[in-house]
Structure formats: structure tokens, C-alpha cells
């Protein structure tokens, strides 16, 4: 596992070192601060899996990553650790300079869930692993990882004016430039959902019924377009050259919930036989430049990961 982790970190560093907008449109921006993880306490809320990341543009501000918000599967009791509500002890353990964070937890059925985060340059590399310690295969894994601007107030999008996705490799404003054929919620704004190109239709996932119109959480609506790559981001208000974004490989669904607000590129690790380990990798980007340059960067990181 250590070798694989080093390969992923080298890949992330290589992608970020090539993050230059060849058109010359990349914003130089202000001087940046090193990305560091912030331990719960003081002004920070506590939650089982909530990881706080200091902004590289203002070290007094931070975003929050609920990693995972929920996780389960067939033959995997999983974790349901929504951090909202009563404060609970945080699981994350940090290295000396707060550039690496990790934890391992044992599920009720005995299988292990591991989460790792590494800060480097203008991004955070993420990895999740599920080690199957049962006699049955783990299949149909469902994971939600909630990326929240939180205290990075300029990135809070409650009406989809800041959120963009990638469709066929080009930027598209989520909700404003996408299409939906159906009825809209009557009492609240919709929370837009997008399938991945070549992936499953998330309306057919019985145990993840949030995205079907006949389910109780009526605000979720799935648009006609399909994402490629699985990237979703929000830019700063009145500043389209600064982005907070995320991508996972492999990914199952994109969605944004303006009621929190948050963005999701939710991973789907492969099925896992007994005694084996399955994993997925993600990145949280703090990007200076336009969204098209961020798509190019995300595609480079994704393609490099697929070649491993």
C-alpha cells in the first residue's frame, strides 16, 4: 500500500507541475499560503469524519470535507457518519506539519475502511480503501463524500450561479446551461444531479433513491447531460479565476446541494472479494485559472491514474 500511495502522490505532483494555461489566461493571483489541514477545536466544529483544509488564498478561511458522509454496500455494514448534529470526537490523525491526515475504522462486520489525505501545492490528494475481512464479496458499494466551501465564504453557492461541470470536456454551468425534462420541486430550489458518461443511471439505484423523482427527497433532479470527466467546481463570487473543485476516479455521480451548500463527485470503488482491498482516488483542487484549464488538469490526473 505504501508504494501505491507514493505513486499516487507523484502523479498528483506531476499533474500540478503541468498546470499551466497555454493560452496565457492563467491568473497569477496573490501570493498563496501552503495548504494545511486544520484539527477540530476552537473555531472548528467537530465531526467523526470531517476534515478541514485551510485555504491557500486566505489561511484564516477553510473548507470542509466529510470523508465519507455515508458509505455502505452489499455485505458491508459501512459507515453512516454524517457529521451534522451533535459534535463527536474526530477520527483524523495528522503528521507533524499537518500536510497528511489519515484514519482507519473497523466496520461492524469486521471489514476496514481507510481514508488518507495529502496536501501538496494547490490540491489535496485523497484515497479511500475498503479491506474485506469477511467471507463474502463486497459489492454495490455506495459512498458519498461531501465537499463544502464552508468558511471560504466567496465560494458558497446557494443558487447555482457559481457551479460548473464538464460535459464532453467543455465547461457547462450546472443548472443554468443543463437540461431537465420533468417537474421541478414546488417548495424549494432543485439540487441538480448528473450521471457520468458510460456509467449507470443513478435513478435506477434502489438503495440510493435520492435521485428518483418519486422518492421523498423531492429537491434532487437529474439533468439530461452526462459528465466527462467527473469534475465539479465552484468559482469565487465575482471571480471566475479562482476555483474549489473535486474529482474522483472511478466516480458514480455528480451533484450539488445548494441547501448546505456542497458539491459531490462521489466515488464507486470496484467490487471486493474476501481478503482483498478495493480503493478509489480523488483530488480537491484549489485552482487559479479558468474552468477549461481545470478540466485539462483533471483529465491529465485521471488519465495518469488509469495507466497505473
Please tell me the distance from the alpha carbon of residue 32 to that of residue 52, in angstroms, as a whole number: 18
| pLDDT band per the 50, 70, 90 thresholds, residue 189 | confident
Is the per-residue pLDDT at 210 higher than 70? no
* Fold held by 2-18+29-306: Beta-galactosidase; Chain A, domain 5 (2.70.98)
Lowest mean pLDDT among 47-51, 128-132, 158-162, 278-282: 47-51
Model-wide pTM > 0.85? yes
Calculate mean pLDDT across residues 92-98: 94
What pLDDT is recorded for position 251? 96
Cβ-contact 284, 126 below 8 angstroms: yes
> Given a cut of 70, is residue 193 above it in pLDDT?
yes
- Look at 8-12, 56-60, 133-137, 161-165 and tell me which has the smallest mean pLDDT: 8-12
Spatial neighbors of 26 by CB under 8 A, at least 6 apart, are 19, 20, 288, 289, 290, 293
Q: What is the pLDDT of residue 35?
A: 94
Higher model confidence: residue 112 or residue 302? 112
pLDDT class of 42 with cuts at 50, 70, 90: low
Among residues 236, 233, 240, the alpha carbon closest in space to that of 283 is found at: 233
Sign of CA dihedral 151, 155, 161, 165: negative
Least confident of 68-72, 150-154, 210-214, 257-261: 210-214
Amino acid at each position: 500500500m505504501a508504494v501505491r500511495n507514493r505513486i499516487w502522490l507523484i502523479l498528483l505532483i506531476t499533474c500540478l507541475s503541468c498546470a499551466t494555461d497555454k493560452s496565457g489566461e492563467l491568473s497569477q493571483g496573490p501570493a498563496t499560503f501552503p495548504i494545511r489541514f486544520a484539527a477540530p477545536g476552537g473555531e472548528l466544529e467537530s465531526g467523526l469524519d470531517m476534515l478541514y483544509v485551510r485555504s491557500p488564498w486566505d489561511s484564516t478561511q477553510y473548507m470542509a470535507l466529510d470523508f465519507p458522509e455515508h458509505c455502505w454496500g452489499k455485505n458491508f455494514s459501512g459507515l453512516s457518519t454524517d457529521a451534522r448534529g451533535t459534535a463527536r470526537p474526530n477520527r483524523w490523525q495528522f503528521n507533524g506539519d499537518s500536510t497528511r491526515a489519515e484514519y482507519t475504522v473497523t466496520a461492524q462486520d469486521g471489514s476496514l475502511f481507510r481514508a488518507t489525505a495529502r496536501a501538496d501545492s494547490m490540491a489535496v490528494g485523497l484515497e479511500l480503501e475498503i479491506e474485506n475481512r469477511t467471507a463474502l464479496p463486497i459489492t454495490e458499494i455506495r459512498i458519498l463524500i461531501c465537499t463544502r466551501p464552508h468558511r471560504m465564504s466567496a465560494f458558497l453557492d446557494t443558487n447555482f450561479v457559481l457551479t460548473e461541470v464538464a460535459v464532453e470536456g467543455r465547461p457547462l454551468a450546472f443548472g443554468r446551461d443543463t437540461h431537465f425534462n420533468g417537474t421541478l420541486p414546488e417548495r424549494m430550489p432543485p439540487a441538480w444531479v448528473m450521471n457520468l458518461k458510460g456509467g449507470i443511471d443513478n435513478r435506477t439505484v434502489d438503495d440510493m433513491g435520492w435521485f428518483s423523482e418519486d422518492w421523498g427527497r423531492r429537491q434532487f433532479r437529474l439533468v439530461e447531460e452526462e459528465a466527462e470527466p467527473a469534475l465539479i467546481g465552484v468559482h469565487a463570487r465575482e471571480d471566475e479565476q479562482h476555483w474549489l473543485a473535486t474529482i474522483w476516479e472511478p466516480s458514480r455521480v455528480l451533484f450539488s446541494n445548494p441547501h448546505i451548500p456542497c458539491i459531490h463527485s462521489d466515488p464507486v470503488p470496484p467490487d471486493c472479494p474476501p481478503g482483498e482491498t478495493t480503493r478509489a482516488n480523488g483530488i480537491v483542487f484549489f485552482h487559479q485559472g479558468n474552468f477549461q484549464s481545470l478540466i485539462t488538469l483533471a483529465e491529465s490526473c485521471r488519465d495518469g491514474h488509469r495507466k497505473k
